[in-house]
Amino acid sequence: QFSADHAAAAHETFTRAVDELTQGGSPVRLLAEGLLAHTFHSLGNVPEARTRELRLLADAPPEFRAYRAELLWNLGTGYQSDGDWGKALDAFSHSVAIFDDLGEAGRGAIVRDLMAQVHDRNGDPQEAWRQRVIALGGIGRTTTPRLAMALGEVGRGAIFRNEWPVALSFLKLAGDTAEAIDGPALEAEMFLLQARALAHLGGRDAVHETIAKARAATARIEDAESQREALADFDRTEALVAPPEVAVRLLTRSIDYHATRGRRVILPDLLLLRGRAYRDRGQPELAAADFEAGIAEVEQHRETLPAGDSRWGTFDPIAELFEEAVASAVQRGDVAAAFAYAERSRARELL
C-alpha cells in the first residue's frame, strides 16, 4: 500500500500491525513501528515522524544495523524537508556508512542521492555531482521509482544553477522513466519541474500544456492524501505564468501550506516569487517584507551547518533575494537599507 502512494491506508495497516505485534510480544514490532513512523512523512506530519524515529533509534539494539540505517535515512529526510542541513547530512552520512559496511550498495546509493540534493541546496554542485555519480551507479541498473527520482534530482540541481536546457533534458528523461513504471505521483512532480524550466525558457504555451499533463497524472493517484500533497505543488508552478494579482494568491496559499505542513525548505523560493509579484503589482513594501523573510529563512538554514566551505555555500541560492532586496530598497528611496543589504550580502562571502 505504502509504495503505491496509499499513505493513509498504509498508516492504518501499520497501526494495527504494531498493536497486534506488541500484544504478541514479537520483535517484528520494531520493524512495523519504523514503517508506521515513516508514514507520517507522507501525511505531512514531520514532527511526529521525527519524534517516533528518534525514540526507535534510541531503543534499537546496536546489532540491528540495517534497521538503524533505515531510521537514520528517514530522519535525514525529515531534517532535509525542514532545511536543517547540518542534521540532514549527519543522519545521511551515518546511514550511508552503515549501508556501505553491510554491502548494501543499492540502499547506500539512494541515501547518497539525498545527500546530493542537500549539497545542491548548499550551493556545492561539485560535491553534489560527486555523490550523484556514485548514487547513479547503484540506482541506474534497473528502471525503478528511485531511478526516476535520481534523474529528476539531476534536473533539479540544474535548476538551482539556472541551467534550464540541461534541467529540461533530465526532467523529461525522469518523466519518461516515471511513466514507464506507472508512477503518477512521480510523473506529476516531473511535469511540474519541466514546466518551471519551460517558464524560464519562454515557452508559455508549453508551460500550460505541461501543467495540464501534471494534472492528468495527479488525477490517477488513488490515495486521497497523496493526491492532496501532489496538488500542493501546482500553485508554485502556475504562479510563474499568472498575472501578478493571481500569482500573489497562488503563492500565499503555497506559503501557508509549506510553512505548517509541507516542505519548509522551499519557502525562500516561494517568498522570492511572491515578492516579485508584489513588486509587479506596485506594492514595494510588501515585496520588501517577502525578500527579507526569504533571506531570514535561508540564514536560519545556514546556521544548522558547521563553519567552513559548506556553511558558506548555502548562501549561494539566495543571491537573487539579496539582489531583489537591494533593488527594492533603491526603488523606495531607502538608501540606508540598500547599503545594509549590500553589506549583509558581502559579509556572507567572509563567513
pLDDT in tens, 57-73: 999 999 999 999 999 99
Tell me what pLDDT residue 350 has.
Answer: 45
What sign does the dihedral 220-222-227-229 (CA atoms) show?
Answer: negative
Helices 319-331 & 284-302, crossing angle to 10 degrees?
A: 150
Tell me what pLDDT residue 4 has.
Answer: 47
What number is the average pLDDT over the span 178-202? 92
3-state DSSP assignment of residue 6: coil
Tell me what pLDDT residue 351 has.
Answer: 47
Q: Is the pLDDT of residue 282 over 80?
A: yes
| Mean residue pLDDT across the chain | 87
Q: Is the pLDDT of residue 217 over 70?
A: yes
Q: Among 18-32, 137-151, 156-170, 231-245, whose mean pLDDT is lowest?
A: 137-151
More confident residue, 53 or 5: 53
Buried b / exposed e across 308-345, counting CB within 10 Å, b at 16+?
A: eebbbbbbbbbebbbebbbbbbeeeeeeebbeebeeeb
- Per 3-state DSSP, the chain is made up of helix, strand and coil in percentages (nearest 5) of 80, 0, 20
Tell me what pLDDT residue 1 has.
Answer: 42
What number is the average pLDDT over the span 187-197? 95
pLDDT band at 189; cut points 50, 70, 90: very high
Q: Is the pLDDT of residue 307 over 80?
A: no
Tell me what pLDDT residue 51 has.
Answer: 96
Task: For the chain, give the percent of residues with pLDDT over 70.
Answer: 92
Q: Among 45-49, 144-148, 185-189, whose mean pLDDT is lowest?
A: 144-148
CB 232 within 8 A of CB 253: no
The half-sphere exposure of 141 on its side-chain side, counting CA atoms within 13 A, is 9
The DSSP-derived string for 243-275 is -HHHHHHHHHHHHHHHHHTS-GGGHHHHHHHHH
Q: Is the pLDDT of residue 91 over 60?
A: yes
Q: Which of 54, 58, 153, 53 is nearest to 111 (CA)?
A: 153
Tell me what pLDDT residue 63 has.
Answer: 94
Say if residue 280 is exposed, middle or buried (CB neighbours under 10 Å; 0-12, 13-18, 19+): middle
Residues 6+ apart with CB under 8 A from 292: 325
Amino acid at 63: E
Tell me what pLDDT residue 314 has.
Answer: 46
Q: What is the dihedral of CA 141, 146, 148, 150, to 10 degrees?
A: -90
Q: Is the pLDDT of residue 347 over 80?
A: no
> What pTM was estimated for this model as a whole?
0.74
The half-sphere exposure of 318 on its side-chain side, counting CA atoms within 13 A, is 34
